Amino acid sequence: MQSFIKDADTKQEENDLMQQWVNDVRDVAYETEEVIETYVSKAAARSTFDLVTKPFHLYKVGKEIESIRMRIREISGRRNAYGVERNSRGEGRGVNDRLRWWRQPSPHVEEDDIIELVEDTKALLTQLTSMESRRRVVSVVGMGGLGKTTLAKRLYNHNDVKNHFDCRAWIYVSKEFRRRDILQGIVTDVNALNRVEMDVLEKLKEEDLLKKLHEFLEERRYLVVLDDVWSMEVWDCLEKAFPSGKTGSKVMLTTRNKEVALHADGEGIPHEPRILTENESLQLFCKKAFHGINSLPRELNKLGKDMVMRCGGLPLAVVVLGGFLSRKSKSTEEWHRVFRNITWHLTKGQDRIATILSLSYNDLPSHLKSCFLYLGLFPEDVSVQTKKLIHLWIAEGFLPQEGEETAEGVAEKCLNELIDRCMIQVVRLNSLGRVKTVRIHDLLRDLAISQGREEIFLEIHHGNKAEQSETISTKSRRHAIHSRYDRYVFLKKFAPHLRSLLFFNREYNVDVERNRMKIGFIEKKLNVIYKNFKLLRVLDMEGVRVVSLPDTIGSLIQLRYLGLRKTNLEEELPLSMGNLQNLQTLDLRYSCFLKRIPNVIWKMVDLRHLLLYTPFDSPDSGHLRMDTLCNLQSLPYIETGNWINNGGLANMTSLRQLGIDGLSRQQVTSVISMMERLQDIQSLSLSLTEQEMFPILTGLSYCEHLQKLCFYGRIEKLPDPQEFPPNLIKLTLHNSELQRDSITKLERLPNLEMLVLGDGSYNWREMVFSSESFPKLEILKLHLLKELEDWIVEEKAMPKLKHLVINRCEKLKQIPDGLKLATTLKELEIVGMPVEFEYRLRTKDFFEFKNTPSIKSTTDMLAIGLGSHQNVGWPETQFG
């Protein structure tokens, strides 16, 4: 059945009968899966599956299978009439397509997908950098797909804008906004709270959050971008957070509604970006279709121009069409076929874009279609963590298995292909340049939802409309709750078909006592899930304020993904969790009140990702038995315990990420000795108990795949360069009390790209980076080096440095002269430094950093005992 679907999927957009045939096959495939999984679920519940009832269950499932066989014969008989040819190899795509899909991903930067609109940029830049005495609102208005967000982001990252404002924040708003989420996002971006306040950010009342933000911005020239604002209500509930501030402060809106823009600032003139000219559209199209080439081949010139003209100058349409054709043969026959199927004469306005988007969707391989549709479950304009998305895809079983490649590796290639096809957008890269978060454009999300509903792939629950329960298909296999949980007891009727249930509501505050009655009500309603949804593969309750889980959670034996992040769990998890032997991901991070994890994890033999970390008070985990977890890949945090020497660590031969807290010197020696067995380890973090000291760290040179290394605690002697992992890219040190000569060892690490020297890592007055040291270092962060006074950087040191952070190094007098003329340095970030240091940077040193596009600083006066926040303004020059 999957073989037929793969072949027919490529043809169904051409034939309504074909589409109906594919739907019939899909229905019977789902039914087959449900029959088998239901039988397995009952067989696992031994109390209801004994010698007496087993014959009855076998008879029942036999009748169901025979009924399915009859349907299959009927559907198969219609195959030839619909033009579907059987592919005995089970592949509906050619060899070249598969080779293309397995290519190595290229780096992704959003700036590649834009055309410089000089007039628009210049006009908005003038508005943003004007020096009115009161805060003004600058608005960008236009239809979806016009490039409002792209233009705003271009301005947000413009060097003149960066240097003009003391602090900046970018927030996605969307239709279903929550004021608290927006306020928290702005507070985080502008560093409005000190470290202590940030640790309790979620406990702050909403009004206190607004007040603190208002007070912080009042003393600064700020820029806050509110992207994708749909209603006047958004501005009404946020306006009080934005004071006049220092002269020249701005709020920037992007919206599809001009009335929203005028409501925010009646004296402002909303800017409406123009559509692309034919030449600009052609330039952008060529960039996407031919990977940077600026002109069309002669034989494709007329066809290419005709297709680009049909895009109507809308950047999104041009980008998606170009991305689609980049994977097609560059022949006139292929391009003629694409042009005919677009059926431009039947489409107008927004439908024209939808047609292009559908064309791009239909061209996806079967597994990528599922991966793309899955993004429709997430709320509008939300940034999705790629690690979480990959874990969900794997749990759903979307991905093909090829050779010895891990499922996570296959999933990452799927993600990169969707990015290359312009189906999803990169939001953030991590410190090493890999994709950290992604999002999906509103129009593409609309496509995912409409297509997903048509294929009974997904449903989304909004609001509390009673009639919604009547219009939603009872056969949909994945449901996302974007509203109040207690309104959806009717989910029970979806139980036979439901495979995934994801919650995205953040309704209840972390104040457990005040909301205990509400929480109890939620738990009662959630019991419906545990008792009835026996075939669930994914249950993500992140942010749902539950205090405990019932024993019935153990009946969900098909569960692959269980997300309990940011819940209020305060009791020990039930022992029945040990029944979840198919579980692949268990996420308990930030379950702030959970004290202990029952010793049943060892039963989850398929577990791949065990995520436990909670700041300050992580649940007790050192007692766990771990020796059966040979499939475990991610264990970023766990307490030390007997599991290390009782076969637990030695048997984790699939481990990629490991972090252990509370180690003794002897235990560190044991861990290091086992590293040779962990051939795939990529990230290692070791933290000592107080008063302990790391032994001589030899033995890590065997770890060829180890790229990230982090040590918390005193280091007796730093290894020589050849004793470090040969491919080490990132090194983080805290409380290391390094010897004076340690820098001479670190600077000879041949592949080091990022170095973090944290609190207490280097306690000497002088630090010297010698000539030609750190040959590949791109990111350097110095945090709380309280004794450092003189930092000397010799000529040709750090020749590739791009990003430098200096945070609360209170005695440091100045930035080294050797960095002032660095041509590679792109961003300099200064946090919590004394006023004298800041003043020198903003006056004497400022013009010497002429090659550094972005200089960002925040003076935290708490660091020098004055008890308030203050920014010393940049000199009023043409540079900002």
| pLDDT in the model for residue 352 | 59
| pLDDT in the model for residue 104 | 31
Q: Which of 478-487, 540-549, 845-854 has the highest mean pLDDT?
A: 540-549
Residues of the domain holding 444: 366-455
Is 587 inside a domain boundary?
Answer: no
Is 126 inside a domain boundary?
Answer: yes
Asked if residue 661 lies in contact with residue 638, where contact means CB atoms within 8 angstroms, the answer is yes
Structure tokens at 551: 């024993």
| pLDDT in the model for residue 49 | 55
Q: Are residues 201 and 286 in the same domain?
A: no
Q: Are residues 392 and 423 in the same domain?
A: yes
Residue 623 is given by DSSP the state T
Q: Are residues 754 and 824 in the same domain?
A: yes
Is 521 inside a domain boundary?
Answer: no
pLDDT tens digits for range 589-641: 887 678 788 899 999 999 999 998 766 666 778 889 999 999 999 999 999 99
Q: Are residues 794 and 843 in the same domain?
A: yes
Q: Are residues 22 and 123 in the same domain?
A: no
pLDDT tens digits for range 135-173: 999 999 987 778 888 889 889 989 999 999 999 999 988
| pLDDT in the model for residue 671 | 93
| pLDDT in the model for residue 526 | 67
Q: Are residues 236 and 322 in the same domain?
A: no
Is 531 inside a domain boundary?
Answer: no
Q: Are residues 343 and 373 in the same domain?
A: no
Q: What's the CATH number where 286 sits?
A: 1.10.8
Region 699-712 average pLDDT: 92
Q: Are residues 210 and 135 in the same domain?
A: yes
**Given pLDDT bands bounded at 50, 70 and 90, which one contains residue 737?**
very high
Is 545 inside a domain boundary?
Answer: no
- pLDDT of 500 > 80? The answer is yes
**Given pLDDT bands bounded at 50, 70 and 90, which one contains residue 381?**
confident
Is 687 inside a domain boundary?
Answer: yes
- pLDDT of 8 > 80? The answer is no
- pLDDT of 496 > 90? The answer is no
Region 344-361 average pLDDT: 60
Provide CB contacts within 8 A for 681, sequence distance 6+: 655, 656, 657, 658, 675, 703, 705, 706
For 2, 210, 861, the CA distances from 187, given in Å and listed in that order, are 49, 9, 18
| pLDDT in the model for residue 482 | 84
Quick check: helix, strand or coil at residue 599? Answer: coil
**Given pLDDT bands bounded at 50, 70 and 90, which one contains residue 87?**
very low
**Given pLDDT bands bounded at 50, 70 and 90, which one contains residue 89?**
very low
Other CB atoms within 10 Å distance of the CB of residue 538: 24
Give 251 or 228, the one with higher predicted confidence: 251
Asked if residue 563 lies in contact with residue 587, where contact means CB atoms within 8 angstroms, the answer is yes
pLDDT tens digits for range 567-582: 878 778 899 999 999 9
Domain boundary among 424, 455, 486: 455
Query: In this predicted structure, which of 188-197, 466-475, 728-737 has the lowest mean pLDDT?
Result: 466-475
| pLDDT in the model for residue 596 | 81
DSSP per-residue codes, 515-578: THHHHHHHHHHHHHHHHH-TT-SEEE-TT---S---GGGGG-TT--EEE-TT----SPPPGGGG
As for how many domains the chain has, the answer is 6
Q: Are residues 387 and 435 in the same domain?
A: yes
Asked if residue 592 lies in contact with residue 614, where contact means CB atoms within 8 angstroms, the answer is yes
pTM score over 0.85: no
Q: Are residues 260 and 282 in the same domain?
A: no
Q: Are residues 384 and 256 in the same domain?
A: no
Q: Return the percentage of the chain with pLDDT > 90, whole number.
A: 36
Domain boundary among 315, 340, 363: 363
Q: What's the CATH number where 134 sits?
A: 3.40.50.300
Q: Are residues 137 and 64 in the same domain?
A: no
Domain boundary among 420, 455, 490: 455
**Given pLDDT bands bounded at 50, 70 and 90, which one contains residue 862?**
very low
Closest CA to 756 of 735, 770, 775: 735
Give 60 or 559, the one with higher predicted confidence: 559
Q: What is the 3-state secondary structure (H, E, C) of 480-529?
A: EECCCHHHCHHHHHHCCCCCEEEECCCCCCCCCCCCHHHHHHHHHHHHHH
Is 540 inside a domain boundary?
Answer: no
